[in-house]
């Protein structure tokens, strides 16, 4: 490191955490946090949940109050876009012409919503949900919307559907795959959540896509599907996934592959540059190929790993090997996932699904790969420990509700 210090590009959860952890770890050099969005770094998970529903005020989204940054000697540059990285001189150029020198650069550039590339996508009231501004726009439109179409039955799409239905809108979810959350969870959990929403009146169309959007006076009026259906819509929310922001890294000549390629220490092909969070593709013990994860836990833990390395901590703290875990609020049901499963992993149901409290344990051969829990926090916490320590669990043990999962873990 040199006196230029650490420059962090991206002020989301990961970027913020690098800056905060550097000070917690005793790093004394300059720390600069650069973000494109205005205002303070904020939490994104509430955007499709409490904030969208109007239950969480905008003030509660901020990760820290404004005074935190000067108090920790962190230079926060909001509404600033990094245009170019000069690796030879170790400088980044901002859109306004200002240049920032760096001793080490951390790319926490995150992702952006994948576009809906169909005729009519430019109509008014066709919106993605990624930022606070997006959530505010959707919330305002939900006040008067009658027919809401959500395109994509992923986590965000299902969460938006819950909120929109609770606000009295007619809601129709369109999904190209043959079931909800196909890449993320078992068919048992996905089916349970769909049935729960269907009972509230949400309509689902699977195995079809959007052919075009029809408008009236410049505003969206209907969604036309591949199968020839015309679905009324005065608000369309796009939730067809995200793409990693890799353009800055590619322009600097760094290795990219559906993400910024990093090693086990989260270093890019340039040892003076790290990448973390949703934009980074990293090697993982649980996968034969490098992975890219979109989760708060992953971004926070990777940020802490990079901070430990930059602050000169011991080697075990600087190799990223954390167990992934995720969560999603689906109305009265909280889904918590520990580990990462493949679509063809077997599923063992633990508990009574009809009671709305159960877990699904995923197996690849005889190896436990992930645990998906609905309203079962105890199973989730036990699963995180079991998976992290690599404890063997049999299928019969997984299904036996008389035996607590926590009892199978090694003594602390």
* Contacts of the segment 94-97: beta carbons below 8 A, 24+ positions apart: 94/34
- Structure tokens, 352: 């009574």
> Residue 3 above 90 pLDDT?
no
Residues 149-182: tens digit of each pLDDT:
999 999 999 999 999 999 999 999 999 999 999 9
**CB of 237 closer than 8 Å to CB of 148:** yes
216: how many CB neighbours lie within 10 A of its CB? 10
Residues 213-233: tens digit of each pLDDT:
999 999 999 999 999 999 999
3-state helix, strand, coil in the chain (%, to 5): 25, 30, 45
Q: Output the pTM of the full model.
A: 0.95
From the list 264, 244, 242, 266, the residue with the least C-alpha distance to 256 is 244
pLDDT at 412: 60
Share the mean pLDDT of the chain: 96
Cβ neighbours of residue 169 under 8 Å, at least 6 residues apart? Answer: 142, 145, 146, 147, 148, 235
Residues 284-309: tens digit of each pLDDT:
999 999 999 999 999 999 999 999 99
Specify burial of residue 303 (Cβ count, 10 A radius: 0-12, 13-18, 19+): buried
> Residue 1 above 70 pLDDT?
no
* Helix segments in 65-216, DSSP class H: 68-71, 132-142, 155-166, 187-200
Average pLDDT (138-148) is 97
CA distance 84 to 79: 16
Spell out the domains of the chain, with CATH numbers in brackets: 6-112+243-318 (3.50.50.60), 115-240 (3.50.50.60), 332-408 (3.30.390.30)
From the list 187, 195, 199, 192, the residue with the least C-alpha distance to 376 is 192
In 190-248 the beta strands, taken as DSSP E runs, fall at 203-205, 210-216, 219-225, 230-232, 235-238, 242-244
SS3 state of residue 336: strand
Chain mean position to CA 339: 15
- Structure tokens, 405: 């999962």
Average pLDDT (237-251) is 97
CA distance 70 to 66: 8
E strand or H helix at 24: helix 13-24
DSSP one-letter string for 147-189: EEEEE--SHHHHHHHHHHHHTT-EEEEE-SSSSTTTTTS-HHH
- Structure tokens, 358: 């159960």
pLDDT at 182: 95
Q: Give 392's DSSP letter.
A: -
CA distances from 26 to 5, 77, 192, 309 (A): 13, 22, 47, 12
- Structure tokens, 364: 């690849």
Specify burial of residue 45 (Cβ count, 10 A radius: 0-12, 13-18, 19+): middle
**pLDDT above 70: percentage of residues in the chain:** 99
Residues 314-354: tens digit of each pLDDT:
776 778 999 999 999 999 999 999 999 999 999 999 999 99
Chain mean position to CA 159: 13
SS3 state of residue 338: strand
């Amino acid at each position: 490191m040199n006196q230029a210090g650490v420059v962090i590009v991206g002020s989301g959860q990961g970027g913020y955490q690098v800056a905060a952890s550097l000070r917690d770890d005793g790093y004394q050099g300059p720390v600069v946090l650069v973000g494109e969005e205005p205002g303070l770094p904020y939490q994104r998970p509430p955007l499709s949940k409490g904030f969208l529903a109007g239950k969480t005020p905008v003030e509660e989204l901020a990760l820290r109050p404004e005074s935190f940054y000067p108090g920790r000697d962190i230079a926060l540059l909001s509404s600033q876009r990094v245009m170019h990285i000069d690796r030879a001189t170790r400088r980044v150029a901002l859109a306004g012409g200002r240049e920032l020198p760096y001793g080490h650069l951390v790319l926490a550039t995150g992702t952006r919503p994948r576009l809906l590339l169909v005729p009519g996508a430019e109509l008014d009231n066709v919106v993605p949900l990624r930022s606070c501004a997006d959530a505010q726009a959707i919330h305002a439109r939900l006040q008067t919307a009658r027919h809401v179409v959500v395109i994509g039955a992923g986590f965000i799409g299902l969460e938006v559907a819950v909120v929109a239905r609770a606000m009295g809108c007619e809601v129709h979810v369109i999904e190209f795959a043959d079931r909800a959350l196909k890449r993320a969870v078992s068919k048992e959990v996905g089916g349970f959540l769909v049935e729960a929403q269907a009972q509230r009146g949400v309509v689902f169309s699977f195995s079809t896509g959007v052919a075009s959007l029809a408008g009236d006076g410049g505003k969206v009026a209907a969604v036309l599907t591949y199968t020839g259906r015309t679905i009324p819509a005065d608000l369309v929310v796009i939730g067809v996934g995200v793409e990693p922001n890799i353009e800055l890294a590619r322009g600097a000549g760094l290795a990219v592959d559906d993400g910024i390629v990093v090693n086990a220490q989260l270093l890019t092909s340039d040892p003076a540059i790290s990448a973390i969070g949703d934009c980074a593709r990293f090697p993982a013990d649980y996968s034969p190929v490098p992975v890219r994860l979109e989760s708060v836990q992953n971004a926070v833990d990777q940020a802490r790993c990079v901070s430990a390395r930059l602050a000169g901590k011991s080697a075990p703290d600087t190799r990223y090997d954390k167990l992934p875990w995720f969560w999603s609020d689906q109305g009265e049901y909280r889904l918590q996932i520990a580990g990462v499963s493949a679509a063809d992993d077997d599923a063992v149901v633990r508990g009574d699904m009809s009671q709305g409290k159960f877990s699904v344990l995923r197996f690849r051969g005889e190896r436990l790969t992930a645990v998906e829990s609905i309203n079962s926090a105890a199973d989730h916490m036990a699963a995180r420990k079991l998976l992290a320590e690599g404890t063997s669990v049999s299928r019969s043990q997984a299904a036996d509700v008389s035996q607590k999962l926590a009892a199978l873990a090694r003594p602390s």
